[in-house]
Amino acid sequence: MAKRSLMAKGLTASMPMTGDLMDAPALVAFDFDGTLTVRDSFNAFLKWRAGPRRWTTGVIRLTPALVAYVFNRNRGKLKAAAVREFLKGVSQAKLEADARAFAELYAPSLFRPDALAVWRRWRAKGAKLVIVTASPDITVAPFARGLGADLLIGTRLAFDANDRALGALAGPNCRAKEKVVRLKEAFGEDVRLTAAYGDTSGDTEMLAIADERGYRVFRGKPA
First-to-last alpha carbon distance for the chain, in angstroms, is 46
Kindly give, in sequence order, each residue whose CB lies less than 8 Å from that of residue 167, ignoring residues fewer than 6 positions away.
Answer: 80, 83, 84, 85, 87, 88, 89, 158
- Which pTM value belongs to this model? 0.88
Compute the average pLDDT of residues 193-206. Answer: 98
Query: Could you tell me where the beta strands, DSSP code E, fall in 49-155?
Result: 128-136, 151-155
Among 113, 101, 130, 103, CA closest to 38: 113
CA distance 213 to 42: 25
E-assigned strand segments in 5-144: 27-30, 128-136
Check pLDDT > 70 for residue 16: no
Average the pLDDT over 200-221 and give the result: 97
DSSP 8-state symbol, 111? B
pLDDT tens-digit profile of 93-140? 999 999 999 999 999 999 999 999 999 999 999 999 999 999 999 999
pLDDT at 23: 52
d(CA 182, CA 193): 13
Mean residue pLDDT across the chain: 91
Phi-psi group of 51: left, alpha or beta (phi > 0 → left; psi -120 to 50 → alpha; rest → beta): left
Confidence of residue 223 (pLDDT cuts 50, 70, 90): confident
Encode pLDDT of 39-79 as tens digits: 999 999 999 999 999 999 999 999 999 999 999 999 999 99
Q: Is the pLDDT of residue 6 over 70?
A: no
Split at pLDDT 50, 70, 90, the class of 216 is very high
Percent of the chain scoring above 70 in pLDDT: 89
Whole-number Å distance between alpha carbons of 137 and 8: 13
Contact of 163 with 93, CB cutoff 8 Å: yes
**pLDDT at residue 153, as a whole number:** 98
Residue 2 per-residue DSSP state: P
